[in-house]
Amino acid sequence: MSTVQWYFPDTLDEAISYLGREKTVPHGGGTSLIKSGIASLEGLVDLSRLGLDSLKMEKGILEAGAGMTFGGVAESLANLHPECILGKALGASASTPMRNRITLGGSASLFPLWSDLIGPMSVLHGVICTEGKNGGTYDLPSWLADRTLQKGSLITSLLFPDPVDWLSSYYRETRVGFDYPAFTVSILARKNNSTIDKVRIAVSGGLDRVRRLTELEERLTGADLSVLASLDIRKMASVEFGRKPAGSPEYLSEIAAVQVERGLKAVLTEEGKSR
Amino acid sequence: MKGSFLVNGRTNEWTFEPDATLLDVLRANGHPEVHRGCDEGVCGSCSVLLEGKLVNSCQVFAASAMEKDILTVAGIGTIHEPHPIQTAFVESGAVQCGFCTPAAILATLALLRKNPNPTDEEIHSALDGNYCRCTGYVKIIEAVRLASRRMSSHD
Amino acid sequence: MTDFSVVGKPVLKVDSLSLACGSARYTADYEMRDPLYLAFAYSPVAHGDIVSLDDSEARGMEGVTDVFHAFNTETELFTTAGQGYPEPSPYDTRLFNKRVRYAGEIVAAVLAGTLSEARAAAAAVKVEYAPLPTLFDPEKAMDKDSPSLHGEDGAYAPLPVPFRAEENVAGEVLFSFGDMEKGFADADFIVDETYRTHYTAHCALEPHAASAFFDEKGRLVIVASTQVPFHARRTVSRVVGIPAHMIRVIKPRIGGGFGSKQEIILELYAALAAWKYKRNVKAEMSRSEVFTAARTRHPMRVRIKTGVKNDGSITALDMSDVMNTGAYGAHALTVLSNAGSKVLPMFNKIENMNFVGRAVYTNLPIGGAYRGYGATQGYFAFNQHMDGIARRLGVDFLDFVKKHHIREGETSEVFKAIGEGTEGVSQIIRSCKLSECIDKGAEAIGWSNLRGKKIANGPVVKGIGAAVSMQGSGIPQVDMASASMKMNDDGSFNLYVGATDIGTGSDTILSQIAAETLNVPLEMILILSSDTDLTPFDTGAYASSTTYVSGQAVLRCAEKVRSQILSVAEKMTGAAPESLVFKESRVVNTATGEETSFSDIACFAMYSHDQFQIQASASFTGSESPPPFMAQFAEVDVDTETGKVRVVKFVSVGDCGQPLNPKLVEGQIEGATMNGISYALTEQYIFNSKGKMTNNSFWDYKLFGTLDMPEMKTIVVDSDEPTGPYGAKSISEIGINGPAPAIANAIYDAVGVRIYDLPLTPEKVLKAIRARTDG
Ligand SMILES: Cc1cc2nc3c(=O)[nH]c(=O)nc-3n(C[C@H](O)[C@H](O)[C@H](O)COP(=O)(O)OP(=O)(O)OC[C@H]3O[C@@H](n4cnc5c(N)ncnc54)[C@H](O)[C@@H]3O)c2cc1C
Ligand code: FES
Ligand code: FES
């Protein structure tokens, strides 16, 4: 029998004061809290009245409230910026009813191994904004590096400094259409005629959770498109995996590299565009 | 704990456990039309509309749904006065064992409210979280198309 | 079909509006006063003796009424399989076994005030096991040094069928005809291959549930998600020791079965607890419990060796199956039999044939009835094997099948040789439109344009493949169905059937048969099914029997009612019987034009003269089991860099005799097909090295959803089965047989690799492609 206390604050300050209490954590969509169980918790702070559910674009910076659902983000972006990788990724995640419940805040707090948020965060250089004990802004690597940052903090929004006008591709490896991904591949690029101006590539789901393929990015940046034919992209895109129901580590590693290559070609060349 | 729930337009005061899901509470309080197929958020048999959005009620804490607008399949039509989506499912042969049907009908409603004339791709995508083991989905998709045709020709 | 008015029409499924509006009730929806709840404790070890069981902590927990287990609850040996009596499955289990035989076996049942209390207490039951050597490989089950799972416990077969516990043999089927040696000697070449199918689950969306309560007379009423209410009553009575006359089993709406609910599991524990405490009891499995505590599809190793002449004739065929029945032998013998008896008659011209089948025990989850029932496993091997032979001969697979398949007016020795574990019943095929199915399907899939063309789009290569299969329509001389009917004074009819609608639509089909026979609109038939107090007996929803067997019972019953109506009409009008004809809801005197309504006839009989109620009952047992036939075709895209197989289009063409309700027929085919596709590609049990299933949830056991649908086409050909009710045969199971082999054959067509074991996962396909290009 659970004795957990629910709080429904109307202001951030109120929310943060509750979060200071023993074993009291935020409630976003609840999808992970339900799975893991809340028997060990004493308090849940519901965030739905804090007004953290808006999406704003100002001066080229996208700010998405932590209370926004994956479905909400995907829908807004599909209208505003259909090419934005964040909308593509979140719109492809889970299923329609799950997307209507999973929040950015809950997902950024956990970044599960199957996260559809982590890849876009990585390539878009997304920033996590928090209030409370460890209030501040954190980039993804520092946030992932220090789990203790989460204690007592409330994620209020995610900031994406330069989210649009990229060529983008997002791939999620799934066994069926509605599945969590075994890995994801996020690619952003900008090109100038036949020169690759910028490229960012992230693979999630491997042993590193999310990995930027920096070596490959460096070799491609500033290069002519013809480099795609000469580089051994698959070798450079090799990422290590653990065993998953979707396949052995070797298999996942191999096909992730295939998808990196395909994604790059799709983004940068005409022939690969269809997906 | 105690709370009020607005289900199918009626306000109810219910007592429930703080860790209960919306599915638990609905089923315990006279809404067995919301089905439990997995309790994991995958099968979609428990789908309801929460503030107009399709959600899996097994993935929603009841406490977080207090005071919010909840719609189950019993709230959109009755056996004496069925909703056009319900009759479309019946006429298309989309109902076999029927266990998935209430949820699939709500998924259809959520879709058609937003998008009265969906493409097949949009239909498949709107029902992507609603398993059916009996029909192979073929007649469910047909039912959505039929409902869409009927409803848009009405209003 | 044109002269029928109700049969053959896509009339609406009689329960569908109530299901769509949420007013229909499933087992778990039944409200009862102040129930107690059951939860179970499961063995974590795959094989071991329970040395001690400490339930003291559990008993001390809040709300706990009792903890049942092997040390306080003795039962005799029985089988959970819901089959005729005595069952063809071995009696090898008890409610609680002191020796556990797979990880996930029920070791204790806790009865408590709430479900969460019961679950918490179940987790607190402490069991100490003395582990025993485990056996996970069915192909080693009969080895001398393998542990014997049931050798010491007195397990036995209640029927005189092969059962050798010491050797782990739960069932055996052997038959042979012709001269195998000569047959193989006559061959120009011999193909000898081994195929393997895997563990899968039915995944009916409604988890198993049972509720037990007492009526005002103190009788125990069990509402259960069952396909076999009558078998359930019999088994509960025998195992729990409650007199059968004190038990009533009611089947409400069922959320799918596919064979999973042809098993008596929760009913037993709910009855045990309710009877002991004379309290209402609810039991419901969670999804993960359904995966391991309920039943599975038996995995099978199928070896086929075929002797072929260069002219395409087959000189001998030897099939040898090892079926893994898991820890207990539910349906072991009969599923095994079907792998032969539903597959081998397909090529009935083979003169020399041998079948050796053994169902063996292992320390893995329990097999059971699953749509296709052994035929699915057999056809996976058969169709690939024949595809390979046709290719080797340089002939088209479809032509090859057409040359060999059984036809109208023909028989097969196999019918007589294998029945459901025992000897079979010989029969002549009276309807078979398989060649038409093949032709129609080939056209719909574009066979001649795509086959062998290996059309490539970058790394993705297209291929198409086909598979054929047959099933049965009930078990001849075994399955029995009854129906009864009474006429009301408004001219409506109550129809009572034991037949069990689990979502299949049998309430609708049977109502249609009655309505057609009595010449009334469908709504004048008020059907009530599957209640052991109210309806007559029926063996249940299995073996593709309902349309054919229960349908005949209804037809006969309705005919009796019809003749009673006629004789009352004669009496009322004084007309000669020859001049009376039936029109909708009335009898017309053709001589005078005088019309007498059914309502007047019923009232006359009831109220006026020599009063009686027009009513009748009838039973039926099939003397044969006419098989439906099907040809199925898959178009796939194989990604040669990732091994991913995408089914682009799938065509199923079936011969089920006269389709009594075309929409329901299509629905059965489509559902079975989609299940078969996901069986082939993604569904699987993953076990750890200790035999424990590690993916027992929908999170990692992947079913196909709307995003995965290929373009689906379903065609039903014109056919008429003279022995069937209004020409009908079965359709419910057959559609699941073709997808796996059709897809595997399509993969071969695309990339030239043969995958011998299911599922056809991307990694496996990629590996095979690599092996071919490297080798
Ligand atoms: C069936 C299913 C399928 C799924 N498929 C996918 C998928 O394909 N891709 C994908 O990316 N995800 C998927 N998920 C979602 C993922 O597993 C998590 O459940 C989800 O990201 C959690 O988000 P939430 O809003 O529900 O968080 P909650 O469950 O509410 O919270 C999760 C954690 O975050 C904390 N938290 C919540 N909000 C905040 C905040 N604002 N600030 C700080 N901490 C906070 C909570 O205290 C808790 O510890 C799936 C989940 C399910 C059940
Ligand atoms: S019961 Fe909620 S998704 Fe299955
Ligand atoms: S109709 Fe049975 S699950 Fe959909």
Helix ranges restricted to H, chain B: 22-28, 84-92, 101-114, 120-126, 138-154
Q: What's the CA gap between A40 and A2, in Å, rounded? A: 9
Mean pLDDT for the stretch of residues C381-399: 98
- DSSP lists the bridge partners of residue C539 as none
C137-199+297-394: CATH topology:
Aldehyde Oxidoreductase; domain 4 (3.30.365)
What is residue C423's predicted lDDT score, i.e. its pLDDT? 79
pLDDT of residue C673: 98
Task: Compute CA C511 distance to the chain's CA centroid, rounded to the nearest angstrom.
Answer: 22
Token digits of residue C709: 């649908």
pLDDT, averaged across chain C: 96
CB neighbour burial string for B30-41, b if at least 16 within 10 angstroms, e if fewer: ebbbbbbbbbbb
Q: Which helix (H) or strand (E) holds B4?
A: strand B2-7
> Could you write out the DSSP letters of every residue in A184-198?
EEEEEEEEETTEEEE
- The CATH class given to the A167-273 domain equals alpha beta
The whole-number pLDDT of residue A273 equals 54
Chain C adjacent subunits, 3+ CB pairs under 8 A: A, B
Q: Which residue has the tokens 């004061």?
A: A17
Q: Check if the beta carbon of residue C427 is closer than 8 Å to that of residue C406.
A: no
Same fold, C137-199+297-394 and C480-621: yes
DSSP summary character for residue B50: E
Per-residue pLDDT, averaged over C661-679, amounts to: 97
Task: Kindly list the residues from chain B whose CB atom is less than 8 angstroms away from the CB atom of residue C674.
Answer: 135-138
CA-based nearest residue in chain C for residue B95: C16
Could you give the C-alpha distances from C652 to A59, C444, C628, C719, C737, in angstroms and in order? 57, 9, 13, 16, 11
Residue C208, min C-alpha distance to chain A (Å):
22
Whether the bond into C476 is cis, omega within 30 of 0: no
Distance CA C581, CA C571 (A): 14
User: Quick one: pLDDT at residue A272?
Assistant: 54
Q: For residue C353, give both structure tokens.
A: 């044939």
Q: How many CB pairs under 8 A join B and C?
A: 184
Report in angstroms the alpha-carbon separations of C138 from C20, C111, C146, C321, C378: 44, 36, 10, 11, 17
Instruction: Kindly report the average pLDDT of chain A as a whole number.
Output: 95
Q: How far apart are CA C373 and CA C202, in angstroms?
A: 12
Q: Is the CB of B47 under 6 A from ligand 2?
A: no
Interfacial B residues in 40-59 facing A (CB < 8 Å): 40-42, 44, 47, 50, 53-56, 58-59
Handedness of CA B42, C714, C200, C262 (dihedral sign): positive
Fold for C480-621, please state it.
Aldehyde Oxidoreductase; domain 4 (3.30.365)
Does B153 score more than 70 pLDDT? yes
Instruction: For residue range A112-130, list pLDDT tens digits in order.
Output: 999 999 999 999 999 999 9
Is there a contact between A248 and C707 if contact means CB atoms under 8 Å apart?
no
Provide the residue type at A56 as one letter: K
Q: Do A96 and B129 touch (CB under 8 A)?
A: yes
Query: pLDDT > 90: what percent of chain B?
Result: 97
Of all ligands present, the nearest one to the C-alpha of C502 is 3
Q: What is the pLDDT of residues C264-311, one digit of tens each?
A: 999 999 999 999 999 999 999 999 999 999 999 999 999 999 999 999
**CB of B132 shorter than 6 A to ligand 3:** yes
Q: Could you tell me if A130 and A136 are in contact, meaning their C-beta atoms sit under 8 angstroms apart?
A: yes
The pLDDT, as a whole number, for residue A271 is 61
Q: Which residues pair with A196 in a beta bridge?
A: A191
User: Which are the contacts of C217, defined by CB distance < 8 A and separation ≥ 6?
Assistant: none
> B54 to chain A, minimum CA–CA distance in Å?
5
Instruction: Encode pLDDT of C482-520 as tens digits.
Output: 999 999 999 999 999 999 999 999 999 999 999 999 999
Report helix, strand or coil for C417. Answer: helix
DSSP-based three-state secondary structure for C514: helix
Interatomic CA distance for residues C231 and C84, integer angstroms = 7
Q: Where are the beta strands (DSSP E) in A101-163?
A: 127-132, 136-139, 153-160
What is the spatial distance between Cα A171 and Cα A92, in angstroms, rounded to a whole number? 9
Residue A114 Cβ < 6 Å to ligand 1: yes
d(CA B149, CA B147): 5
Give CA–CA dist C771/C766, Å, rounded.
Answer: 9
A236 within 8 A of A216, measured Cβ to Cβ: yes
User: Quick check: bond before C759 cis, omega within 30?
Assistant: yes
Q: Which residue has the tokens 């193989």?
A: C184
pLDDT the model gives residue C421: 64
Contacts of C699 in chain B (CB under 8 A): 40, 42
| Per-residue pLDDT tens digits for C146-170 | 999 999 999 999 999 999 999 999 9
What are the sequence ranges of the domains in chain C?
A: 27-132+203-293, 137-199+297-394, 430-472+625-775, 480-621
| Measured CA angle at C163 (ends C158, C168), to 5 deg | 130
> Which of residues 24 through 43 in chain A touch B, CB cutoff 8 A?
27, 29-31, 33-35, 37-39
Is there a contact between C105 and C39 (Cβ–Cβ < 8 Å)? Answer: no
pLDDT, residue A274, reads 44
Residues of chain A with pLDDT under 50: 274-275
Tell which residue, B53, B56, B61, has the closest CA to residue B38: B56
| Nearest-by-CA chain A residue for B104 | A97
Q: What are phi and psi of A76, to 5 degrees?
A: -60, -45
pLDDT of res. A152? 80
Touching subunits of B (3+ CB pairs, under 8 Å) are A, C
- Domains, chain B, in order of start with CATH, read 2-75 (3.10.20.30), 84-153 (1.10.150.120)
Residue A268 pLDDT = 94
Q: By alpha-carbon position, which residue is closest to atom 2 of ligand 3?
A: B97
Pairwise CA distance, residues C604 & C612, whole Å:
9
Cα gap C531→C500, rounded to integer Å: 9
Given a contact cutoff of 8 angstroms between Cβ atoms, the answer to whether C106 and C41 are in contact is: yes
Q: What would the pLDDT profile of C212-259 be if each residue is shown by its tens digit?
A: 999 999 999 999 999 999 999 999 999 999 999 999 999 999 999 999
Q: How far is C255 from chain B (nearest CA, A)?
A: 5
CATH code of the domain occupying C430-472+625-775: 3.30.365.10
H or E element at residue C739: helix C739-751
For residue A178, give the nearest of C705, C762, C763 by CB distance.
C705
Please indicate if any CB of chain B lies within 8 Å of the CB of A1. yes
Task: Name the closest residue on chain B to residue A97, using Cα atoms.
Answer: B55
Say yes or no: CB of residue B138 within 6 Å of ligand 2: no
pTM over 0.95? The answer is yes
Q: Is B37 part of the contact surface with chain A (CB cutoff 8 Å)?
A: no
Chain B contact set for A35 (CB, 8 A): 40-41
pLDDT, tens digit, for every residue of C580-594?
A: 999 999 999 999 999
Distances (CA, A) of C293 to C97, C445, C748: 14, 40, 37
CB distance C552 to C594 below 8 Å = no
CATH match of A55-161 with 3.30.200.20: no
Tell me if A131 sits within 8 A of A50, measured CB to CB: no
Q: Which residue of C has its CA nearest to A259?
A: C642
Asked if ipTM goes beyond 0.95, one says: yes
Burial C87-118 (b: 16+ CB within 10 A, else e): bbbbbbbbbbbebbbbbbbbbbbbbbebbbbb
Q: Which CATH class is domain C27-132+203-293?
A: alpha beta
Q: Where are the beta strands (DSSP E) in C101-214?
A: 106-112, 126-131, 169-177, 189-196, 209-214
Closest CA to C304 of C388, C193, C414, C392: C193
Ligand 3 atom nearest the C-alpha of B98 is 1
Q: How many residues does chain C have?
A: 775
Strand duo C169-177 + C353-361: pairing: antiparallel
Distance separating alpha carbons of residues C149 and C151, to the nearest angstrom: 6
> Nearest Cβ partner of A101 from B40, B59, B107?
B59
**What pLDDT sits at residue C1?**
44
Instruction: Return the residue of C nearest to B78 by Cα.
Output: C21
Residue percentage of chain C with pLDDT more than 90:
95
Do the beta carbons of residue A94 and residue A176 sit within 8 Å?
no
Structure tokens at A118: 């982590």
Q: Count H helices and E strands in chain C, helices first.
A: 19, 29
Q: What is the pLDDT of residue C757?
A: 97
Q: Give CB contacts under 8 A, 24+ apart, made by C648-651.
A: C648/C462, C648/C710, C648/C711, C649/C445, C649/C710, C649/C711, C649/C712, C649/C713, C650/C677, C650/C710, C650/C711, C650/C712, C650/C713, C650/C739, C650/C742, C651/C441, C651/C444, C651/C445, C651/C712, C651/C713, C651/C714, C651/C715
